[in-house]
Amino acid sequence: MKKYFFRSQTIHLLVFALINFSSVALVWSSEKFITGFSDLPIMPGMQELPDANISFDTASGRIVEAFAKTEQNVEKILSFYKNVLPQLGWRVKKDTMFVRDTEILNLDLRRERDSVIVQFSLKPQ
């Protein structure tokens, strides 16, 4: 009886783990990232402006500039990135500046009519 109970619990645990891992994988696979950044998610409802993006490597590190547009307000944009970026290893240095390892990420937010243009700038420290 104990063997049956142990097997049953083990099977339930494995099924639970499989469901959780597959749902996490589904979320990560549907996550969209800013072009030029390997792990900088684009905020839901934000549209990237890829024609303005630049990216290149230098001897001291990579330099990336990317642009996106959204109808969200500045507070919601900053709140999103202040919540998401620390999960990816970034530390908040200032309201719109984040630091990770040897890189600095700046967010420049500009209002344009009913939208906000966000410039993501990555450079070495």
The confidence score (pLDDT) of residue 51 equals: 87
Q: Which CATH class is domain 47-124?
A: alpha beta
The confidence score (pLDDT) of residue 36 equals: 86
What's the rounded Cα separation, in Å, for the pair 54 and 121? 10
How large is the average pLDDT for residues 66-83? 96
What's the rounded Cα separation, in Å, for the pair 118 and 52? 12
Specify the DSSP element, H or E, that contains 27.
helix 2-30
Q: In this predicted model, what pLDDT tens digit does every residue of 32-41 receive, in sequence order?
A: 899 888 889 9
The confidence score (pLDDT) of residue 19 equals: 60
As to burial, measured by CB atoms within 10 angstroms (0-12 exposed, 13-18 middle, 19+ buried), residue 106 is: middle
Residue 92 has pLDDT above 50, yes or no: yes
What's the rounded Cα separation, in Å, for the pair 46 and 63? 22
The confidence score (pLDDT) of residue 79 equals: 95
Give the closest residue to 118 by CA, choosing from 76, 57, 56, 60.
76
Q: In this predicted model, what pLDDT tens digit does every residue of 5-28 receive, in sequence order?
A: 556 666 655 555 556 554 444 344
Global pTM value: 0.73
Residue 83 has pLDDT above 60, yes or no: yes
